[in-house]
Amino acid sequence: MHFSGPLAVFTALLTLVAFPVQIKTDSTASTELYGDIENSEYGDFESLSQTRERQQHLCHREVPSVFFQTERDSPVRGNGSTIYFHRIEVCCMGYRRDPYAHECVPDCSASSPDNCRNGFCRSPGICECFAEFVRNEHGACIHTCPIACQHGRCYLNGTCACHQDFVLDQESRQFCRPKCSQACGTHEECVAPGQCDCSPGYRRTPDMGCQPVCAPDCGFGKCVAPNQCECFAGFIKRPNRNVCEAECYLNCENGLCESRYKCHCREGYRYDVNTTSCLPECSDNCGQGNGMCIAPGVCRCFLGYEVHGADCRPKCERSCGKYGRCVAPEICGCGEGQQHCRNGSCDDVEHCSCPPGETHFIDRCLKADRLSQHLNTSEKRKHFNRQLAYEFNALIGRLFSF
């Protein structure tokens, strides 16, 4: 079908809508960065949709703009409520981004271990299995007879006969569950023949048996059910947060408010006065500022740097030679004074050695015909003026006492 006039323009605009991509392709390796936002390259966030149908499950979120920084000396100014925040579009709670349909769809991962595989996620946490599948005790959609029968075997008439020490599920009668001779305790279930363990969302304690788990912890409250907090008197839960804290005027993400003006950060985070929140903390500031700390102890290196253990170090594609080391992206440092050597390598007398046909000019190796190109702008001249001062100190300046 072809359109013309204003309708054609509107149709063309719709085709140009961009969608955000997940920052990591492996969801199992994703790392928490800021509250419930996950993954590592915030620069990949784009508009999810511009149509009403796709915007119905789309929410806005502000995250610290520092997470968008990709270059060491290029801080990012945010487009949010202040310059320290970036406003992004994310799927609302209970929804996730479908990488194929490019829209927000219901998320069943909390109620189904495989996110409703072999079924249809009707709404957040509501998984409907396809025909000839049934939900087992863990919430997964499994085959039924005549294809298969969990912990049993199928007869030709379509019935399921359970293996020894297993019994037919009383509700569906289409799969078998382990049998325990004695009834399991409170918040327990039979997980294997004759073996009880805590139900999902609970963990065993030495004195009180299976107790609910809330992550993160409830703060000034108690955990009454899996991820459900009940606050003590005088404390509240703010919108879209499950932690009990005092009323306050701070964001205090990844922490909890102890009073109106005091934020207590969780372990692995530090308070940031610009965002009034807790940002992740890394040792040595990711190699003295060569990267961005995106999770406690996890660095994302800036362009021109690469990960070495817990730090970010400069990367030089060309070898600096036996007598030099990489001191900045594509810049070698020669000898004790660390004379800069771009596009060359360091020789045994601790000077910059250039490839044939090039000469060393202040901090780099250049061909003669390109020298004028590097001096025809004021910005380049300012750079070389700064480098002249550095080179003087690197070569002989340290020998003088000013």
363 belongs to a structural domain: yes
Domain count, the chain: 3
- DSSP H helical ranges for 256-373: 284-289
Residue 31 has pLDDT above 80, yes or no: no
On whether the CB atoms of residues 312 and 306 are closer than 8 A, the answer is yes
pLDDT for the residue 375? 64
Does 294 share its domain with 338? Answer: no
**Which band of pLDDT confidence, cut at 50, 70 and 90, is reported for residue 46?**
very low
352 belongs to a structural domain: yes
Cα(196)–Cα(83) distance, rounded to whole angstroms? 54
Cα(244)–Cα(220) distance, rounded to whole angstroms? 5
Does 332 share its domain with 363? Answer: yes
On whether the CB atoms of residues 244 and 221 are closer than 8 A, the answer is yes
On whether the CB atoms of residues 135 and 113 are closer than 8 A, the answer is no
Does 362 share its domain with 327? Answer: yes
Residue 398 has pLDDT above 70, yes or no: no
Element (H, E) at 66: none
34 belongs to a structural domain: no
**Which band of pLDDT confidence, cut at 50, 70 and 90, is reported for residue 245?**
very high
Cα(177)–Cα(155) distance, rounded to whole angstroms? 18
| Higher per-residue pLDDT: 238 or 15 | 238
pLDDT for the residue 174? 94
**Which band of pLDDT confidence, cut at 50, 70 and 90, is reported for residue 165?**
very high
**Which band of pLDDT confidence, cut at 50, 70 and 90, is reported for residue 40?**
very low
Give residue-wise pLDDT tens across range 275-287: 999 999 998 888 7
Q: How many CB atoms lie within 10 A of CB 65?
A: 22
pLDDT for the residue 24? 34
Q: How many CB atoms lie within 10 A of CB 222?
A: 14
**266 CB-contact burial (10 Å; exposed 0-12 / middle 13-18 / buried 19+):** middle
Does 301 share its domain with 346? Answer: no
- What does the pLDDT average to over 295-303? 91
131 belongs to a structural domain: no
User: What DSSP string runs through 85-141?
Assistant: EEEEEEEPTTEEEETTTTEEEE--TTT-TTSSTTEEEEETTEEEEPTTEEE-TTS-E
Residue 344 has pLDDT above 80, yes or no: yes
Cα(369)–Cα(346) distance, rounded to whole angstroms? 23
Residue 192 pairs in a beta bridge with 195
Give residue-wise pLDDT tens across range 71-112: 888 888 889 889 999 999 899 989 999 888 788 999 999 889
Does 364 share its domain with 334? Answer: yes
Residue 396: CB partners within 8 Å, gap ≥ 6? none
Residue 163 has pLDDT above 70, yes or no: yes
pTM of the entire structure?
0.68
Cα(217)–Cα(251) distance, rounded to whole angstroms? 18
On whether the CB atoms of residues 179 and 167 are closer than 8 A, the answer is yes
Q: How many CB atoms lie within 10 A of CB 346?
A: 23
288 belongs to a structural domain: yes
Does 338 share its domain with 359? Answer: yes
Q: Which residues constitute the domain of residue 327?
A: 316-372
**Which band of pLDDT confidence, cut at 50, 70 and 90, is reported for residue 50?**
very low
**Which band of pLDDT confidence, cut at 50, 70 and 90, is reported for residue 27?**
very low
Residue 9 has pLDDT above 60, yes or no: no
Cα(98)–Cα(104) distance, rounded to whole angstroms? 6
Q: What residue type is assigned to position 175 of the chain? A: F
Tell me, rounded to whole angstroms, the distance of Cα 208 from its chain centroid.
35
128 belongs to a structural domain: no
Does 289 share its domain with 329? Answer: no
326 belongs to a structural domain: yes
Q: Calculate the average pLDDT of the chain.
A: 81
Give residue-wise pLDDT tens across range 348-378: 888 888 888 888 887 888 887 776 666 666 6
154 belongs to a structural domain: no
Cα(235)–Cα(228) distance, rounded to whole angstroms? 15
Give residue-wise pLDDT tens across range 175-210: 999 999 899 999 999 999 999 999 989 999 998 999
Does 308 share its domain with 324? Answer: no
**Tokens 């005027």 belong to residue:** 249
